[in-house]
């Protein structure tokens, strides 16, 4: 067990995270203490088990998928940077950000938010939501009273609504298009306490 000092956040790190994610100083420190409280193994990274220890996630239909979203492709551990990077998607879009011409698109831009949502469906990362992937999500979201056939119909119809190029799956662009009327900025933001 290393000394706690090694896991403390250094100022430079905070600055970097601030630049990358846009969180404020106090928010970062707050979230860091949350991170450490989740990190039972005290090795500076979180594993899937750490997430699964959060009780409310077990009763969340999308719980596992969201946990999965924290872990980059193929890895089993996520460090604080990665943790913050994902959480940054949910920061509310502020006015000044809307107008700023950033070098790279901020993590909480509308497109990036939608990309996060898209990746929840698209597990195999082929940039398409196939019928099976959609069915899986539907099955998770919908009650048990609905039969598989009905679910299949719903899935088919959902794909039809979005699919413009007729490949029977939803690409990211189609996804964006179909949700253009939805106020994603508001629907996908939470208030991070200072």
Partner 1 sequence: PLPPSESTPNQSHADHGHGSSAVGGIPVVTFKWHHVETPYQVALWILVAGLAKLVIEANHHVTNVIPESALLICFGFILGGIIWGADKVQTFKLNPTVFFFYLLPQIILDTGYSMPNKLFFGNMGAILVYAVIGTCWNAASLGLSLWGCHQGGAMGDLDIGLLQYLLFGSLIAAVDPVAVIAVFEQVHVNEVLFILVFGESLLNDGVTVVLFNVFDAFVSLGGARINAVEIIKGIISFFVVAFGGSLLGLVFGLLISLLTKVTQKVKIIEPAFVFVLGYLSYLTAEMLSLSSILSITFCGVSCQKYINANMAESSVSTVRYVMKVFANGSETIIFVFLGISAIDTEIWVWNTGFILLTLFFIFVYRIIGVFFLTWILNRYRLVPVEFIDQVIMSYGGLRGAVAYGLATLLNESKIKEKNLMICTTLLVVYFTVILQGITMKPLVNWLKVKKAAVSELTLIEKLQSKVFDHMLVAIEDISGQIGHNYMRDKWNQFEERWMTRILMKKSVRKSRDCVFKVFHQLNLKDAMSYVAEGERRGSLEFVRNESAFIDFKKKFVDDCSGAMPDITACMSDDYSAIRIDQVPSVSLEMHEQNMKGVRETEDINTHHLLQQHLYKGRKQHRHRYSRSHFNVNKDENEVQEIFQRTMRNRLESFKSAKMGVSPPKKISKHTKKDQQQKVPNGKSTENGKRYFSGDEGCMIGNVCIPLTPFPLGPAGIENPAYIPDLDPMAAEIPPWLAEYDAGPVAPSQRAQLRLPWTPSDLGRLAPLRISTRSNDSFAQADAPAAQQKDDEPPTPSKRDGRNM
Shorter beta-carbon distance to partner 1: residue 1 or 175? 175
Nearer residue to partner 1 within complex by CB, 8 or 142: 142
Q: Least distance (Å) from partner 1 to the CB of residue 19? A: 20
Nearer to partner 1, 19 or 191 (CB): 191
Residue 103 CB, shortest distance to partner 1, in Å, is 26
Q: Which is nearer to partner 1, 41 or 187 (CB)?
A: 187
Q: How far is the CB of 8 from partner 1 (least distance, A)?
A: 19
Residue 7 vs 68, nearer CB to partner 1: 68
CA angle 176, 63, 67 (to 5 degrees): 80
CB of 154 to partner 1, least distance (A): 5
C-alpha 6/C-alpha 43 separation (Å) is 10
Residues forming the site for partner 1 (CB under 8 A): 31, 34, 37-38, 51, 54, 56-57, 60-63, 66, 87, 90, 92, 95, 117, 120, 137-138, 141-143, 145-150, 153-154, 156-158, 160-162, 178-179, 181-183, 185-193
């Amino acid at each position: 067990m290393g000394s706690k000092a090694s896991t403390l956040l250094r100022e430079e790190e905070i600055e970097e995270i601030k630049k990358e994610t846009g969180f404020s100083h106090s928010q970062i420190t707050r979230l860091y203490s949350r991170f450490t409280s989740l990190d039972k193994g005290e090795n500076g990274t979180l594993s899937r088990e750490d997430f699964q220890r959060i009780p409310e996630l077990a009763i969340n239909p999308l719980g596992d998928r969201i946990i999965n979203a924290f872990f980059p492709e193929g890895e089993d551990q996520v460090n604080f940077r990665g943790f913050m990077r994902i959480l940054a998607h949910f920061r509310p879009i502020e006015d000044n950000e809307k107008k700023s011409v950033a070098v790279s698109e901020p993590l909480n831009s509308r497109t990036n938010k939608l990309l996060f949502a898209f990746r929840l469906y698209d597990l195999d990362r082929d940039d398409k939501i196939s019928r099976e992937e959609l069915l899986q999500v539907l099955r998770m979201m919908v009650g048990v009273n609905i039969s598989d056939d009905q679910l299949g119909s719903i899935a088919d119809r959902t794909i039809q609504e979005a699919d413009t190029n007729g490949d029977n799956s939803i690409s990211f662009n189609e996804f964006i298009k179909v949700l253009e009327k939805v106020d994603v900025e508001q629907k996908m933001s939470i208030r991070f306490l200072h």
